[in-house]
Chain A
């Protein structure tokens, strides 16, 4: 397949996906009730995601890693900002993945076999999931659902019970969860893990990277808090 054929077929594919209404059911199409707004977007202005996508991302991240007594959640640590920044870089564009066709379905052991780049997968995945939610939940998008319903929808994607039209719900959930954990646990230089919040919670000293003085302090807690690549102390 030539480059021009590939980009044409990808455009057609995207057009088809966007045009189709997701035709599915989640295990529990919860009643229209107990509405709660998603957490308000932060000051960071997204470069890639639209306003609606940005609302989805906040709502989903907050359910995947919620804030609680154990420590900060994904939204508090800036994970949506991390994911938005990743979309604009080589990862979002699949710059280092083999993306030549032909594309074929395969057993999961053969890994990612879709023509969609991560940024395309987010775009069609969010649209398909929001359309599904509006259809099932009284015209509410995912961000407008109560947390317990959001959790059911995410579980449906994870376990394969919820199928999205034109895009693999499992692939979309997989990349969303992977990127959420990355943003939560990566160095703050990438936009997430603000103030090294997750590192302080689990006890990782970050970029200290020098433990000659502690290797033989066996079974003794490490006494110093984290530092990051930019030289800040957590």
Chain B
């Protein structure tokens, strides 16, 4: 940005770019440490009342199908291609992933699937080399260690669960195995703050069949409150009522953990905190040497450019936006797949999902509309390195189970494959199957590869005139092998559930990434953390290697994807980074690693 801003604001100690989960966490921690903090959010102000109030929130078309709460692609989007050398085209309509916008960000409309991470996934490259030998990692796969250990993060996983009032059952308390929880999880210092949610019929049928086949089912950790709860900040949650309008919707009941329900009631009242909505950050400003950030420049709701000077800049926007802002601001060296050099945009990855449908007869109504975002029964036996990968020829894994999130009839109607798409037979099928179907989901890793990455698009621009982010991504055989293995096991469990028929949906070799079909909003990488500046953008404290007063939050920092949903790890990393800033950085501003 060479042109001077229209307005220059008074200096602040810290500025947050984006105000979802990680922005709210950073805002709380830094203001508690006495800093003056300004949060800039491109979207609108939102709160439970009036924005998510019943009954208007129980409207599938508006929220679930027309995506009322998500990023407005008419203003900014990404371009996508499958391989370097191809022409990328704009992601014109929301499909495969649904980035949030507005106060609370994706924390408003997430499911609340609140996992930690498996200890071996944080040191994936070292772990695999140790167990299977260095040659086990195929050519072109660019996985690496996070640079932080599970033990480092445990207090912060615990902290985020206490803030969210997460419902679940521990499987490993201080090294001792606990019946009913996940036997494969890392050690927990405490039990979950709330007991598990109640299970629907389909989830219990899954758990019974899985147990009989030798697996270890347990309730999925859910940031949907199973009872009344007051968190460490004093914010109160009410019990979830299984309304079935959770993911893609704001919670009308104060039961789903979100920035609005857990942090903002306290943070927004603080005198040393200011929130500005409608503030589109265009650049991080750097000093003349490019070694220190002087603040950020944003466009305010009136369309004027504003310079906000700050001593500390925290990028807490969505993964794609954090990466793009680094590229636009010239922080860190852009990644080039041809040479493998550069770091910003490197190791973009995604997740791999599959599904198995079990169709029941009319003697067993499943009441699919009774749903929570994250409650259900799952198994972790096929995730991480809980099974011998040696003979299987792939890296990674996933969890699977029945998480009945609702029976919203436009989006969540599951019909047998041979059903026509329209006409009298389609109508007959929705009548025959709507109430009588159970879905098993498989949710797994995608490893990072040399030619899956992010950079700036040479052609397409946003409404502000800046280049869009360009995503180069396609499925690799490793990840197809993973999903076929895990989804195949899910089908075996499905056949033992007592339904009339079973159908399997999973990716096939040679199948390309399809931007039209919703998969997950678990885009990761692009500003990855690590142990060396040549192979990562930020150090183990999420601090830029190049500009020491810039910190980058969220799943941007994952060097490859994990099997679980990423928010629990992203939340814990935000608390971990905040602790490093408060304990060390503020006393002696400079590189922490």
Contact = CB atoms under 8 A, between A and B. Distances in A.
B430 A100 contact: no
A32 interface: no
Given A186-B410, A201-B430, 20 more contacts: A66-B424, A99-B74, A109-B513, A109-B516, A110-B515, A111-B91, A177-B421, A180-B422, A187-B58, A202-B409, A205-B369, A209-B57, A209-B252, A211-B241, A211-B242, A211-B369, A215-B198, A216-B198, A219-B364, A222-B367
Contacts of B461: 100
Q: Is chain A's binding surface mostly helix, strand, loop or mixed? A: loop
A38 B499 CA distance: 42
Contact of B77 (A68, A90, A98, A107): A98
B365 A222 contact: yes
Contacts of A189: 59
Contact of B92 (A64, A99, A190): A99
B66 interface: yes
B243 A210 contact: yes
Q: In this complex, which of A65, A203, A231 has the most chain B Cβ atoms within 10 angstroms of its Cβ?
A: A203
A31 interface: no
Contacts of A106: 89
A155 B204 CA distance: 41
Given A215-B370, A218-B200, A207 B58 contact: yes
A95 interface: yes
A65 B427 contact: yes
Given A186-B410, A211-B243, A204 B55 contact: no
A195 to B, nearest CB: 16
Nearest to A73: B427
Contacts of B55: 207, 209, 229, 231
19 contacts: A65-B423, A73-B427, A96-B73, A97-B73, A98-B90, A111-B92, A112-B93, A113-B90, A158-B422, A182-B61, A186-B65, A198-B409, A203-B435, A207-B55, A208-B369, A211-B243, A219-B201, A219-B365, A221-B435
Given A98-B90, A108-B516, A212-B241, A187 B426 contact: no
A181 interface: yes
Closest 3 CB pairs of A and B: A218-B201, A209-B243, A207-B58
A109 to B, nearest CB: 4
Interface string A28-66: 000000000000000000000000000000000001111
Contact of B61 (A187, A202, A219): A187
Contacts of A68: 424, 427
B422 to A, nearest CB: 4
Contacts of B73: 96-98
A4 interface: no
Interface string B122-162: 00000000000000000000000000000000000000000
B348 interface: no
A204 B412 CA distance: 12
B198 to A, nearest CB: 5
B67 interface: yes
B72 interface: yes
Contacts of B242: 210-212, 215
B245 interface: yes
B51 interface: no
Contact of B409 (A104, A199, A218): A199
B265 interface: no
Interface in B66-100: 66-67, 72-74, 77, 80, 82, 87, 89-93, 95
Q: In this complex, which of B67, B72, B252 has the most chain A Cβ atoms within 10 angstroms of its Cβ?
A: B72
B477 interface: no
B311 to A, nearest CB: 36
Interface of B: 54-61, 65-67, 72-74, 77, 80, 82, 87, 89-93, 95, 198-201, 204, 239-245, 252, 364-367, 369-370, 407, 409-410, 413, 421-424, 426-428, 430-431, 434-435, 459-461, 512-516
A158 B422 CA distance: 10
A111 B518 CA distance: 12
Given A70-B427, A113-B92, A98 B74 contact: yes
A154 interface: yes
Contacts of A108: 514, 516
Q: Is chain B's binding surface mostly helix, strand, loop or mixed? A: loop
B245 to A, nearest CB: 6
A104 B89 contact: yes
Contacts of B370: 211, 214-215, 222
Contacts of A110: 80, 89, 515
B94 to A, nearest CB: 8
A36 B285 CA distance: 69
A154 B61 contact: no
A182 B410 contact: yes
A185 interface: yes
B516 A111 contact: yes
B10 to A, nearest CB: 35
Given A111-B93, A113-B92, A189-B59, A151 B423 contact: yes
A212 B204 CA distance: 17
Contacts of A90: 66
Contacts of B204: 218
A202 B430 contact: yes
A64 to B, nearest CB: 4
Contacts of A65: 422-423, 426-427
A20 B369 CA distance: 48
Interface in A166-214: 177, 180-182, 185-187, 189-190, 198-199, 201-212, 214
A199 to B, nearest CB: 7
Contact of A187 (B60, B74, B80, B428): B60
Contacts of B435: 202-203, 221
A220 interface: yes
Contacts of A216: 198
A98 B73 CA distance: 5
Nearest to A204: B409
A71 interface: yes
Contact of A186 (B56, B60, B92, B459): B60
A203 B434 contact: yes
Contacts of A100: 90, 460-461
A218 B93 CA distance: 38
Q: In this complex, which of A91, A109, A220 has the most chain B Cβ atoms within 10 angstroms of its Cβ?
A: A109
B196 to A, nearest CB: 12
A86 B82 CA distance: 33
Contact of A96 (B74, B365, B410): B74
Nearest to B252: A209
Interface in A96-143: 96-100, 102, 104, 106-113
A64 B56 contact: no
Contacts of B244: 209, 211
Contacts of B366: 219
Contacts of B77: 98
A202 B91 contact: no
A19 B571 CA distance: 57
